[in-house]
Amino acid sequence: MNGATAHSPLLRVAQVSKYFQTTVRAIHALHGVSFQVSAGEFVALLGPSGSGKSTLLRMIGGLLTPDEGQIFFRLEPLREPNAAIGYVFQRTNLMPWRTVVDNVLLPIQVEQGCVDARNRQQAGELLALVGLQGFEQSYPRQLSGGMQQRVVLARTLMQQPQLLLMDEPFGALDALTRERLNLELLRIHREHAMTVLMVTHNIAEAVFMADRVLVLSERPGRLVADLAIDLPRPRTLAMLGTEHFGHLTLAVRAQIGAVEGV
């Protein structure tokens, strides 16, 4: 059966485990992780450092293979990178010698061997969507860190992914820039009905952004909590000061605390 139906999950992670062999010893990174994500959901992934969050994201992106268990995307086993899955890393990895618009067009150029006027129009529209209209001919060195991450987001959206994976994408930015980009991402998620799975270390960010928060244990990472976030959408900064938001962050923090033994 090809493609997900209206009632089937877009992504299903089934009893996934991962091991790494170092020169000193074997590392058990993840153990028996299972969850699913429906189309249009925004899911945040939290856990202590070393719990395997980024490893799990790389497996979902097809960059690593599970040693046990299986990952399904649109009901099909996922064994390699899929063009319908976009990936935004913490590091921007922009090509410094290419202009902003040419960085955005890079995936299309790699895939097709060339770009046409329609591709350039789409790239311009995406740059406008992320608030970078007028910076098309700038170079990465001329942009702030937050603006560079917007370019990366536009480049990823150029591939029209059904699932967007984000690995601590705003972690290196100052608090105000991070807050603005969170709002920008929520707007794009709402307007394009995107499905997002985002790794973060920030509890308040996870609660503010997500429909659900998944919590991993210390290594080997096990899924120890799957918490629904019932804040209404669209989300606003005013929600950060509400009693209900505080209760939700405390509930997530309690799970993290239980995991870390504090």
Alpha carbon distance 168, 57 (integer Å): 11
Among candidates 217, 227, 90, 109, which has minimal Cα distance to 158? Answer: 109
Sheet hosting strand 163-167, strand order edge to edge: 85-88, 163-167, 195-199, 42-46, 212-216, 223-228
pTM of the model: 0.87
Q: E strands of the chain, at which residues?
A: 11-21, 26-37, 42-46, 68-73, 76-77, 85-88, 163-167, 195-199, 212-216, 223-228
Per-residue pLDDT of the chain (262 residues; tens, 9 = 90+): 445 555 679 999 999 999 998 777 888 999 999 999 999 999 999 998 889 999 999 999 999 999 999 999 999 999 898 989 998 887 778 999 999 999 999 988 888 888 888 999 989 988 988 888 899 999 999 998 888 988 988 898 888 899 999 998 777 677 887 888 888 889 889 888 889 999 998 999 999 999 999 999 998 999 999 999 999 999 999 999 999 999 999 999 999 876 555 4
- At 114 the pLDDT is 82
Which is nearest to 154 in space by CA: 94, 84, 81?
94
Give the CA diameter of the chain.
57
pLDDT for position 191: 84
Residue type, position 207, single letter: V
CA angle, 220 as apex, 215 and 222 as ends, to 5°? 35
Q: Residues 187, 44, 47, CA angle at the centre, nearest 5°?
A: 150
**Residue 245: what pLDDT?**
96
The whole-angstrom separation of Cα 174 and Cα 206 is 17
Tokens found for residue 208: 């503010």
**Which secondary structure element, helix H or strand E, spans residue 1, and what is its range?**
none
pLDDT at 3: 53
Dihedral of the CA atoms 71, 76, 77, 78 (nearest 10)?
Answer: -70
The answer to whether the CB of 172 falls within 8 A of the CB of 90 is yes
